[in-house]
Structure 1
Amino acid sequence: MSFSFFKPSRPKTPLEVVKTTKDSLMALDTKTVVEVKALEKALEEVEKNFATMRCMLSGDGEVEPNPEQVSQLASEVCKEDVLALLIHKLPILGWEARKDLVHCWSILLKQKIGSTHCCVQYIENHFELLDFLVVCYDNKEVAVNCGNMLRECIKFPTLAKYIIESASFQLFFKFVELPTFDVSSDAFSTFKELLTRHETVVSEYLTGHYDEFFDVYEKLLTSPNYVTRRQSLKLLSDFLLESPNSHIMKRYISEVRYLKVMMTLLKDSSKNIQISAFHIFKVFVANPNKPREVKAILARNHEKLLELLQNLSAGKGADDEQFEEEKELIIAEIERVSRLPNLDS
């Protein structure tokens, strides 16, 4: 008795995996919502192909991936424009297919052909794909998937630079305040990566777009939403105090407008926000080259400021001793400035 019909089918080659994946993604165009059954079948086909691709890229738990096949798959995905299809079709894919796509995406971006990351190079030639991923934050069904894919892209300086300098970047100021908490949190994670991952890219951007950036950023710091205020204040510290941004910080701490924002945040009902605001406020006060306008504001408000600072404590788990030392120095400097003559004249 022969059992030959149980023989496992020959594994697909990378080229075949890419071809069948492309065909199944293209088939989604021909299926309309009217043909519900046909669309469901097409989506199932995509899901099956993504599972095969995932297996080839990361193994199946028993068999390790073959580096040569992985490399070939990445090359074919670019050659056949499947990378663009993966992004454009994302909004109509099912949950499982999206999950597999996000997993495959991070592996594909890391692949090199010679010294070149082929998929990164493909995106550099099709930057509009990054704009598409950013705009997907407006679609709460796929927002978190797109966020994961964007953060993988941001690991590469050329891709981060494109996003941060594009019109799409401005959308993050809206997305971080979206009403759906998991979407706004994810958008903030991506926003933070953009502003902290590549110091030189960020420094160049802030140098060239100082006014427009901090104009909009001020709205986040004064947002009625507690989470937005707290996160954006912490992020401001993270990138403003980086050494490549020292020239940006010097400019920021010389502006009365931003000193007033920090003074307002020192009075916030949240202890955490007060503490974070103090760490930026102290840089305004400790600046040895304070402009006359900054000194005048400190002098005019010195009584209220001293009262606020005296009631401020480091909070649990913080370095009390260092905090108290810094606070004393800041209090002494405000008292010194308040005694300076002719500041209001």
Structure 2
Amino acid sequence: MAFWWKKTPKTPSDYARLLSEQLNKFENASTVDSRRKIQDDCSKYLAGTKHFLLGEVEPEPSVEAVDELYSAIYQLDLLYDLLVNLAELEFEARKDVALLFATCLRHSRDNKLVTVDYLVTRPKTISLMLRAPQMALSKANSSDLFLKTGSIILESLKYEQLCRLMLRDPQIWLFFDFAKSGSFEVSTESLQILTNLLTIHQKPVATEFFSQPANLHKFIEKINNVMAHGSYVTKRQSVKLLQYLIMIRAYNHLLTAYINSPDNLKLIMILLSDRSKNLQLASFNIFKVFVANPRKSKPVLDIMVKNRDKLLHYLQSFNTDSKDVTFLDEKEYVVQEIESLPRLVSPNGDFSFGTSPQH
């Protein structure tokens, strides 16, 4: 494959070295023309690096040559520099950066993920990776840049060692804010990042994240905020995420904390009466867990008792056209459980089914 740059790489490490040199020039670029020249050179050297690692050059590079290039990438801290300057690169070059990260992360030698092990020793790169989406939102074409940084994070989350590092980084909480108030693309990407962060590697999430009361309470606060104040799409996605999480056996800390809170029950009951049928159904899958809990807290039980008749009236006409046998069985069970609650002649309290929770 022929390349068209003036400086031709003579060794594998030249690909990384020449790209690093160009990236470091952005800081001092004073004119539009100089910046464009640096962008062009970065695109060329980045494409060359990618093609070399993928074996798309002739002759096909040897294993030793590829290892030499990887070593240069690590020694030059090139992955960090690419994240720092991602906003400066051209559109196609940004796509190449995302592909380069994915390719590097898959690189293994002697049954070891070399790049993953390298990044574990460079927590500043993981921290920057999580900070990059916020930085992207202040730039032009912010959604596209956000998605590129998001794709790098999603690729990194496939590896448990990197997921552990991200779980410890306080910047992960920002993705709840992005999910609630961002554009459609930003919101959905943020929720996908949170979903992958909390579901792919369940052991560290259970033992290192949800086992900490501070994380547990903050997660509930954040997810409730998205469910209450997000757009329709983010409400539905966040409800489905919560439903999935509380059903994971290893996350018993989360399940117990969530279904014993009266405020959480109030929110789910409000969502259960939403105008959207899909959101109603998603909320029902959480509501049924509150109902099925054999050891309800007194505040939760009080709300159900006070709203007993209203709930029964609502469920009587809830999703009556469904042919889903599982849903119908679950609905019948929920109705029977609510019917077994004490009946109040004149319900009182600070909450009534279908109204907003009191704060």
TM-score, normalised with respect to structure 1: 0.88
Provide the aligned C-alpha RMSD in A. Answer: 2.5
Shift of 1:118: 2.7
Q: Distance in 2 between matches of 1:84 and 1:313?
A: 51
Does structure 1 residue 242 correspond to structure 2 residue 240? no
1:208-227 aligned at under 5 Å gives the runs: 208=212, 209-227=215-233
Shift of 1:288: 1.5
Q: Distance in 2 between matches of 1:71 and 1:193?
A: 30
Deviations 1:117-138 (CA, angstroms, capped at 9, x unpaired):
2322332222222232223323
Aligned to 1:26: 24
Shift of 1:295: 2.0
Aligned to 2:272: 266
Q: Distance in 2 between matches of 1:194 and 1:249?
A: 18
The one of 66, 76, 83 equivalent to 1:87 is: 83
> Does the 8 A contact of 1:262 with 1:277 survive in 2?
yes
> Does the 8 A contact of 1:109 with 1:117 survive in 2?
yes
Q: Distance in 1 between matches of 2:55 and 2:321?
A: 48
Relative to structure 1, the CA distance from residue 124 to residue 136 in structure 2 (aligned partners, 3 Å threshold; closer, same or farther) is: same
Aligned to 1:144: 147
Aligned to 1:3: none
> Does the 8 A contact of 2:226 with 2:235 survive in 1?
yes
Structure 1 letter corresponding to 2:26 = L
Aligned to 2:340: 336
SS in 2 for 1:60: coil
Aligned to 2:15: 17
Aligned to 1:6: none
> Does the 8 A contact of 1:298 with 1:338 survive in 2?
no
The one of 117, 121, 139 equivalent to 1:121 is: 117
1:153-164 aligned at under 5 Å gives the runs: 153-164=156-167
Relative to structure 1, the CA distance from residue 99 to residue 66 in structure 2 (aligned partners, 3 Å threshold; closer, same or farther) is: farther
Structure 2 letter corresponding to 1:215 = E
> Does the 8 A contact of 2:180 with 2:230 survive in 1?
no
Aligned to 1:320: 324
- Which moved further from structure 2: 194-203 or 264-273? 194-203
Relative to structure 1, the CA distance from residue 187 to residue 62 in structure 2 (aligned partners, 3 Å threshold; closer, same or farther) is: farther
Q: Distance in 2 between matches of 1:314 and 1:103?
A: 48
Aligned to 1:4: none
Shift of 1:25: 1.5
Structure 2 letter corresponding to 1:14 = P
Q: Distance in 2 between matches of 1:320 and 1:191?
A: 30
Shift of 1:245: 0.7
Relative to structure 1, the CA distance from residue 75 to residue 113 in structure 2 (aligned partners, 3 Å threshold; closer, same or farther) is: farther
Q: Distance in 2 between matches of 1:108 and 1:80?
A: 14
Does structure 1 residue 275 correspond to structure 2 residue 281? yes
The one of 99, 102, 106 equivalent to 1:106 is: 102
Unaligned runs of 5+ in 2: 1-6, 137-141, 349-359
Q: Distance in 1 between matches of 2:11 and 2:314?
A: 68
Relative to structure 1, the CA distance from residue 206 to residue 114 in structure 2 (aligned partners, 3 Å threshold; closer, same or farther) is: same
SS in 1 for 2:295: coil
Deviations 1:71-92 (CA, angstroms, capped at 9, x unpaired):
3322220022112111111111
Q: Distance in 2 between matches of 1:175 and 1:39?
A: 30
Give % identity: 30
The one of 290, 294, 298 equivalent to 1:292 is: 298
Q: Distance in 2 between matches of 1:106 and 1:304?
A: 53
Relative to structure 1, the CA distance from residue 261 to residue 18 in structure 2 (aligned partners, 3 Å threshold; closer, same or farther) is: same
SS in 2 for 1:207: coil
- Which moved further from structure 2: 54-63 or 239-248? 54-63
1:162-173 aligned at under 5 Å gives the runs: 162-173=165-176
Unaligned runs of 5+ in 1: 1-8
Shift of 1:22: 1.5
Structure 2 letter corresponding to 1:212 = K
Shift of 1:68: 4.0
Relative to structure 1, the CA distance from residue 186 to residue 66 in structure 2 (aligned partners, 3 Å threshold; closer, same or farther) is: farther
Deviations 1:163-214 (CA, angstroms, capped at 9, x unpaired):
2221201111111123422122212211211111111122231220211221
Does structure 1 residue 186 correspond to structure 2 residue 192? no
The one of 68, 74, 81 equivalent to 1:78 is: 74
TM-score, normalised with respect to structure 2: 0.85
The one of 42, 45, 53 equivalent to 2:41 is: 45
Aligned to 1:5: none
- Which moved further from structure 2: 285-294 or 144-153? 285-294
Q: Distance in 1 between matches of 2:240 and 2:321?
A: 16
Shift of 1:61: 9.0
The alignment of Structure 1 onto Structure 2 pairs a total of residues equal to: 331
Structure 2 letter corresponding to 1:131 = S
Structure 2 letter corresponding to 1:247 = H
